[in-house]
Structure 1
C-alpha cells in the first residue's frame, strides 16, 4: 500500500478496489443503443433482422470467441457482449504503467462481420475527438496489422483460422498503447527521433488526462459504475504522476503506477509550454476526480492554496490583468481547448500572438 497515504485513505482505496473487483471482466448485457455499430449487419425494411442469425457457422465462432474472452482476459481488459446482438462487443483497456497512457481508460466498440472470421472485425475507438496515438485516429479509426488496416507482414495480419478478438485487444494494449507511441509511425527512427518521441509523450500525457475527464463526464453504457470506481481508486496515483511531470518532468518510463519516481537520473528539462499546459489543466483534473468521491483532499487543498496565493493564468487572462502577456496566454488557452491540441502548435501559436 502507498506509504504516502494515511491509514484512513488506504482503507478507502481498499474498499474501492473491492468495488472494482465486483465489476465482472466479462459479462452479457442487454441495451446496445449507444454502440457505434448498432445499425450494422441488419436487413429487412425496418432493419430488425440480424444477418448473423441466419448463419450458424458464424454464430458458433462468435460463441467460441466469448468463451475465450471469458476464460483468458487479463485484469486490465474488460468486455461486454450483447444478448440481442451477438455481433457487437465493447471493450475497455486500462493504460499500462510506464506509458503515457497509464491508468487511463480506453474504450473500443467492435463489430463481427456477417462472414466472420473470413474477414477481421471492425473496431471503433471512443476518441472523444482526440488523437492520442498514431494508430488511433480522432474519427475513431483503428489502424492495426491484425485488422488488415495497417501495414504488416503476412504473419502479423488477420488469419481466419487462428486470429481471435482476444489477440486484437492484447495487440492494442501492447503494441499500440505502448511506452513510446511516436515510433508506431513507420520511418520515425533517425536523428533527433528520441527528442521528438519525448515531446510526443508529453503531448500524449496531456491528451490522455483530458480524455479521462471526457470519459468521466460521459462514460459508455454499462461501464458507468466501473469508470467512477476506477478513477476513485487511481486518482491519487494519476495526480501524483501529474505533479511529477510538472515539477521535474521525468521520462515516462521512470514513473510507476502510483506516480512516484523510481529513478532520479533520467529526468529532462520540462518545456515551458508543457508546464503551462499542465498548470492550466491540472486543477480541472483534480476537480473531476473529487467529483467521483476519490480521496484527493490534499490535492484540492493545494489547488485552492495555489489559486489564493497566485491567481491562475486563466483567471488573470479573464480579469485582463496581464495586458500584452494576457493576449499571449489567451491565445495559448484557445489552443489548449482545441480537441486536436498538440504541444508543437503551442509555440507557434504564442509567437503569432505577438504579431
Structure 2
C-alpha cells in the first residue's frame, strides 16, 4: 500500500462531511436543555433559536474544509459532534480530535458550549484533560472584544476552523500566555517548544489508539476508513521520528524534504513503542470485515428523509 498524503486521503473518504445521526446516547451534553422551556426552543421551527441553528447547518453543509466532519442528531437539534483532523506540520498531524457541542436555548445570543474528548490527555494549553476548551470565542478565556462571540458574525464553522488553526498549531507551547513573551528570548525556549511537541505527538498517538479501539458513536465508519487509508503514513512518520530523522511534524513522506533532524533519545524510544502499538491496532482494523457491526453506521434511509426535510426547511427560509 502506497503512502497517501493527507490531502489525498481526505478527498478519498466516502464518509459524508455533514450528516444527521440517529444515536446521541454517548454525547457529553445529552442531559442539557431538558426543561420544558428549553425544549420548546429547539422543537418549534418558528423560534429564533431553531432558525439560527438551521442556518448554521446550512453553512456547515456547504463550507466545511476537507479536514473537518460534523454530525447533528435527528431528535436533538441542540447537539453537534465534530472531528478535526490534525494539520500537517504540527505535532497534532493525522490525529483525530473530537468535540461535543451544545447550543444554548438563547442561541445565538450566547456561544455554544464545547467538550473535548480528551481520554484524559492534556493535549494543549487550551485543551484540558477534563475536556474543557479554553477559548475567547466561546467566552471561556478573556480576550479582546474582537475575539469574543458576537451573535451577528460568529458561527460554528468559525469556531471549528479557529480550533484547528489557532489551538492545534505548530507550536502549542506558546499558546500558554506566560510563554508568549519568551518567543524571541533564546534558543532555550525553542528547545522547550520542541520537547513539548514531542510529548504532544505521543499523546496524539495514544488518542489514536483510543479512537481505534472505541470510536465515538456515529463515527465508527469514519475511524475505520481514516486509519485504513492514513495508517501507513502515520507509521512511516513514527519510524522517522524514532530514528531521529525528522523533528515532530517535519516528516512529509520524504526524509530529504523533512526539517532539521532532531529528536530526544527518550522520544525516539517512546516512538518505537508507539509504532508497535499502532501497527498492531491498524493491522487489526484493516483486516476487519466491512460488515462488522462495530464499523457500520445506521441505515441511511432515515437520514435521507430527514436531510430532505432540512433542505426543504432551508429552501423555505432562505430562498
- Under TM normalisation by the shorter chain, which class is it? 0.7 to 0.9
The answer to whether 1:23 aligns with 2:19 is no
Q: What is the TM-score with the length of structure 1 in the denominator?
A: 0.74
The answer as to whether partners of 2:110 and 2:151 remain within 8 angstroms in 1 is yes
Instruction: Evaluate the alpha carbon distance shift between residue 62 and residue 271 of structure 1 in structure 2; reply closer, same or farther with a 3 A threshold.
Output: same
Match of 2:267 among 274, 281, 304: 274
Partner residue in 1 for 2:194: 198
SS of residue matched to 2:178: coil
Partner residue in 1 for 2:78: 87
SS of residue matched to 2:26: coil
Q: Once the two structures are superposed, what CA deviation does each residue of 1:38-88 show, in whole Å capped at 9, x if it has no partner?
A: 1100125xx994553357000000000000000000010000001211100
Partner residue in 2 for 1:157: 148
- Within a 5 Å distance, the mapping from 1:222-261 to structure 2 comes to 222-256=218-252, 258=253, 260-261=254-255
Partner residue in 1 for 2:110: 119
Q: Which has the larger radius of gyration?
A: 1
Distance, in Å, in 1 between the alignment partners of 2:34 and 2:68 is 28
Instruction: Evaluate the alpha carbon distance shift between residue 183 and residue 17 of structure 1 in structure 2; reply closer, same or farther with a 3 A threshold.
Output: closer
Q: Once the two structures are superposed, what CA deviation does each residue of 1:294-315 show, in whole Å capped at 9, x if it has no partner?
A: 7xxxxxxxxxxxxxxxxxxxxx
The answer as to whether partners of 1:20 and 1:230 remain within 8 angstroms in 2 is no
Number of equivalent positions: 280
Match of 1:52 among 11, 36, 42: 42
- Within a 5 Å distance, the mapping from 1:182-331 to structure 2 comes to 182-188=173-179, 189=182, 190-191=185-186, 192-256=188-252, 258=253, 260-263=254-257, 266-268=260-262, 270-293=263-286
Distance, in Å, in 2 between the alignment partners of 1:264 and 1:252 is 10
Partner residue in 1 for 2:29: 37
Residue 286 of structure 1: how far off its partner (Å): 0.8
Residue 285 of structure 1: how far off its partner (Å): 1.2
Which structure 1 residue ranges, 4+ long, deviate > 4 Å from structure 2? Answer: 10-13, 16-20, 47-51
Q: Once the two structures are superposed, what CA deviation does each residue of 1:133-166 show, in whole Å capped at 9, x if it has no partner?
A: 1111110000111111123211111111110000
The answer to whether 1:61 aligns with 2:55 is no
Distance, in Å, in 2 between the alignment partners of 1:17 and 1:98 is 16
Note the residue ranges of structure 2 that are not aligned, 5 or more in a row. Answer: 288-319
Q: Once the two structures are superposed, what CA deviation does each residue of 1:318-353 show, in whole Å capped at 9, x if it has no partner?
A: xxxxxxxxxxxxxxxxxxxxxxxxxxxxxxxxxxxx
Partner residue in 2 for 1:313: none
Distance, in Å, in 2 between the alignment partners of 1:185 and 1:110 is 24
The answer as to whether partners of 2:245 and 2:255 remain within 8 angstroms in 1 is no
Distance, in Å, in 1 between the alignment partners of 2:64 and 2:39 is 31
Distance, in Å, in 2 between the alignment partners of 1:211 and 1:253 is 17
Distance, in Å, in 1 between the alignment partners of 2:92 and 2:134 is 18
Q: Which protein has greater RCO, CA pairs closer than 8 Å, 6+ apart?
A: 2
Partner residue in 2 for 1:302: none
SS of residue matched to 1:66: helix
The CA RMSD over aligned residues, in Å, is 2.5
SS of residue matched to 1:89: strand
Instruction: Evaluate the alpha carbon distance shift between residue 20 and residue 40 of structure 1 in structure 2; reply closer, same or farther with a 3 A threshold.
Output: farther
SS of residue matched to 1:152: coil
